């Protein structure tokens, strides 16, 4: 069994895979990760390998503890990857984006794939039918847009995410919801269409914390998979274990 550890800024996703099957998943606070891993270690005694993807701050002492428990792989741009990285600054490519691209190789090898990760940021990653990663784009996510309107203006309130009743907002709150949500939806649909014009038979994957909310509203044909990053990390661990 494999333990997948996806570290964000405040929370950590822990997942257990038996080969390609998701057995267990939980989200914990970053300061509780070792306690949770110790619980999982006792419950799932077959776990022998682990991978860490950290875009947040996981203390080195915690990494050392995990390394004592399992055969550990820490994801970075230097490990063996199943695609050609054509990014001009490969050292700056986030480990989360690397994992997403590996997920596409695992499930959609030798296809033109656009992966959209809708979380704190919305990232777009494109890999072509030759398994060449070419890059993509990064833009603010839904919550960042709401918070920016509140933080960078004097009078606009901070609102919770909500699908607007109509595109024309007739109150300040409705106008904010319309601007944020329809702005994101039209951005995503527009980018998908731009990629489709240049790439035949494009497969589009939508993942991330906001994927379920957005997938119901998008015009474009997509595959929504909130676990796509975890699946990519599991594939990387298998790939580097010669499975």
Active-site residue, from 62, 96, 125, 210: 96
Is 96 among the residues known to form the active site?
yes
Order of strands, edge to edge, in the sheet holding 223-224?
A: 84-85, 132-140, 121-127, 113-118, 203-207, 223-224
Please, are residues 213 and 119 in contact by the beta-carbon 8 Å criterion?
no
Q: Provide the 10 A C-beta neighbour count for residue 126.
A: 21
For 44-78, b/e burial (b = at least 16 CB within 10 A) is eeebebbbbbbeeebeeebbeebeebbebbbbeee
Using CB atoms within 10 A of its CB, is residue 239 exposed (0-12), middle (13-18) or buried (19+)?
middle
Looking up tokens 């570290």 gives: 7
Helix (H) or strand (E) holding 51: strand 49-54
What amino acid positions are annotated as catalytic residues?
A: 96
């Amino acid at each position: 069994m494999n333990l997948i550890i996806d570290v964000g800024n405040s929370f950590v996703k822990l997942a257990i895979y038996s080969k390609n099957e998701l057995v267990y998943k939980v989200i914990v606070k970053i300061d509780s990760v070792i306690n949770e891993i110790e619980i999982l270690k006792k419950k799932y005694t077959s776990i022998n390998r682990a991978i860490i993807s950290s875009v947040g701050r996981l203390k080195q002492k915690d990494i050392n503890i995990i390394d004592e428990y399992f055969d550990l792989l820490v994801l970075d741009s230097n490990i063996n990857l199943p695609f050609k990285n054509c990014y001009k600054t490969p050292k700056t490519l986030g480990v989360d984006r690397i994992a997403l691209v590996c997920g596409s190789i695992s499930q959609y090898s030798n296809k033109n794939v656009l992966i959209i990760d809708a979380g704190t940021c919305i990232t777009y990653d494109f890999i072509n039918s030759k398994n060449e990663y070419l890059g993509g784009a990064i833009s603010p996510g839904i919550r960042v847009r709401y918070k920016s309107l509140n933080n960078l203006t004097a009078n606009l309130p901070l609102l919770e995410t909500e699908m607007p009743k109509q595109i024309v907002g007739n109150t300040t709150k409705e106008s904010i919801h319309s601007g944020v949500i329809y702005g994101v939806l039209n951005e995503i649909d527009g980018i998908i269409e731009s990629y489709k014009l240049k790439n035949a038979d494009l497969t589009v994957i939508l993942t991330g914390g906001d994927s379920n909310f957005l997938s119901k509203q998008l015009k474009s044909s997509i595959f929504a998979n909130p676990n796509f990053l975890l699946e990519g990390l599991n594939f990387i661990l298998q790939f580097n274990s010669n499975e």
